[in-house]
């Protein structure tokens, strides 16, 4: 009697091979998005403290004189092939928006798009990774929504709270402020290099550590009230230049200044950019913002791409009065958070000067 052949195990393609754009690089470019949402006839009751106006990291809705809700949603296609790590990165990235508003994250809902062709075990690993980061942050995942989709996507809708008078906006920078950032940039270029198989092994490990690191401790320091924070945002899909432009444009009478030598960059990212390893989202970011930036004469295009690189769960970017800068950095260091002063703000017309 013949023995039936053993079933052939399904071949699971690398998750990033199913992504049209990886991670936060999948965002619609900021100038186009602003055009799309401008003029929308949306209801805005007086309880809405933060809405669409400045493209802030989350919405804020006041419930009482002492309590407001912070609400955000963020999801994207795979930026790494490991399902568990993808879940970790996506969850950490979504949670960051609440901390960038000075809030405390309370609970979250899973947002899932998943191909029918992939084994359910892959999705289970993605959700396990998200649950791992939410648990680390002390945030309950209490439900969610899923749809079938040829391209996998994952993220969270996160609900938090903040005191109405302690909301930290992405606008409000003042002349004399310094710019503090809490993570190196370059994750978009680095993950593109990993996908193409040209990334050094140390870089592959470093970029995952950067993207999975929670911004919770940094957010708590900036929200502590122990020093003044005039503006705060997180650096994600629009890149350092894009998010800084949003901060500058929405503030009054200031020009931002970036000092190239002070900006932390993931090791090898600059050399990879010089070799043309640049994701499409990063190129779109530069195209969207370059008219607002004064670059040094002869600055290589690769350096511009690094500054515009689409980040996934990048660091927090804060405008802090110069007199409070040392205290801010000392408190961040005490909390185990690295930080760099990368520039500042001066009186002038909205724009960015790169030196």
What is the per-residue pLDDT across 241-261, written as a single tens digit (0 to 9) for each? 999 999 999 999 999 999 999
Give the residue among 129, 263, 264, 273 at the shortest CA–CA distance from 199.
Answer: 273
**pLDDT score of 6 more than 80:** no
Burial of 166 (0-12, 13-18, 19+ CB in 10 A): middle
Contact predicate 172/320, CB 8 Å: no
**Average pLDDT, rounded, for the chain:** 92
The token pair at 53 is 């106006």
pLDDT for the residue numbered 5: 54
> pLDDT-based confidence at 9, cuts 50/70/90?
very low
**pLDDT score of 240 more than 90:** yes
* Averaged pLDDT for residues 328-353: 97
Could you give the domains of the chain? 15-166 (3.30.1330.10), 177-354 (3.90.650.10)
- Residue 336, number of CB atoms within 10 A of its CB: 8
pLDDT for the residue numbered 11: 65
Q: Which residue is catalytic, options 15, 21, 24, 229? A: 24
Q: Please confirm, yes or no, whether 21 is among the known catalytic residues.
A: no
pTM of the model: 0.91
pLDDT for the residue numbered 316: 98
**pLDDT score of 115 more than 50:** yes
**pLDDT score of 4 more than 70:** no
- Residue 179, number of CB atoms within 10 A of its CB: 26
> pLDDT-based confidence at 325, cuts 50/70/90?
very high
pLDDT for the residue numbered 53: 82
Q: Which of 5-9, 28-32, 67-71 has the highest mean pLDDT?
A: 67-71
Q: What is the percentage of the chain residues whose pLDDT exceeds 90?
A: 81
pLDDT in tens, 262-273: 999 999 999 999
Q: What is the percentage of the chain residues whose pLDDT exceeds 70?
A: 94
Query: What phi and psi values does residue 345 have, to the nearest 5 degrees?
Result: -130, 140
pLDDT in tens, 181-219: 999 999 999 999 998 889 888 898 999 999 999 999 999
Question: In sequence order, what are the residues at sequence separation of 6 or more whose Cβ sits closer than 8 angstroms to the Cβ of residue 197?
Answer: none
* Averaged pLDDT for residues 167-176: 97
pLDDT for the residue numbered 1: 46
* Averaged pLDDT for residues 60-69: 98
Helices 83-99 and 201-212, axial angle in degrees (round to 10): 40
Q: Strand pairing of 67-76 and 153-162?
A: antiparallel
């Amino acid at each position: 009697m013949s023995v039936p052949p053993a079933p052939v195990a399904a071949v699971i393609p690398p998750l990033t091979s199913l992504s049209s754009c990886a991670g936060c690089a999948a965002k619609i470019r900021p100038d186009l998005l602003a055009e799309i949402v401008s003029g929308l006839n949306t209801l805005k009751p007086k309880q809405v403290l933060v809405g669409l106006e400045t493209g802030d990291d989350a919405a804020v809705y006041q419930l009482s004189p002492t309590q407001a809700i912070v609400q955000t949603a963020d999801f994207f296609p795979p930026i790494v092939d490991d399902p568990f790590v993808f879940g970790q990165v996506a969850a950490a990235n979504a949670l960051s928006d609440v901390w960038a508003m000075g809030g405390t994250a309370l609970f979250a809902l899973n947002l899932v798009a998943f191909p029918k062709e992939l084994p359910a075990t892959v999705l289970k690993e993605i959700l396990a990774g998200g649950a791992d980061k939410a648990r680390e942050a002390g945030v309950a995942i209490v439900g969610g929504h899923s749809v079938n989709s040829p391209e996998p996507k994952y993220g969270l809708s996160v609900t938090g709270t903040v005191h109405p008078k302690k909301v930290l906006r992405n606008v409000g920078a003042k002349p004399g402020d310094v710019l503090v950032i809490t993570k190196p940039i370059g994750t978009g270029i680095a993950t593109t290099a990993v996908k193409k198989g040209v990334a050094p092994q140390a870089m592959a490990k470093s970029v995952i550590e950067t993207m999975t690191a929670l911004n919770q401790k940094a957010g708590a320091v900036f929200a502590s009230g122990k020093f003044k924070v005039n503006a705060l945002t997180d650096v994600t899909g629009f890149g350092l230049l894009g998010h800084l432009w949003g901060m500058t444009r929405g503030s009054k009478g200031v020009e931002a200044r970036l000092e190239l030598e002070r900006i932390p960059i993931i090791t090898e990212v600059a050399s990879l950019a010089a070799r043309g390893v640049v994701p499409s989202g990063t190129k779109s970011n530069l195209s969207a913002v370059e008219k607002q930036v004064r670059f040094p004469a002869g600055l290589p295009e690769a350096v511009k791409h690094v500054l515009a690189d689409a980040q996934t769960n990048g660091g927090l970017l804060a405008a802090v009065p110069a007199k409070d800068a040392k205290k801010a950095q000392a408190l961040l260091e005490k909390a185990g958070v690295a930080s760099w002063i990368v520039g500042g703000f001066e009186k002038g017309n909205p724009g960015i000067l790169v030196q």
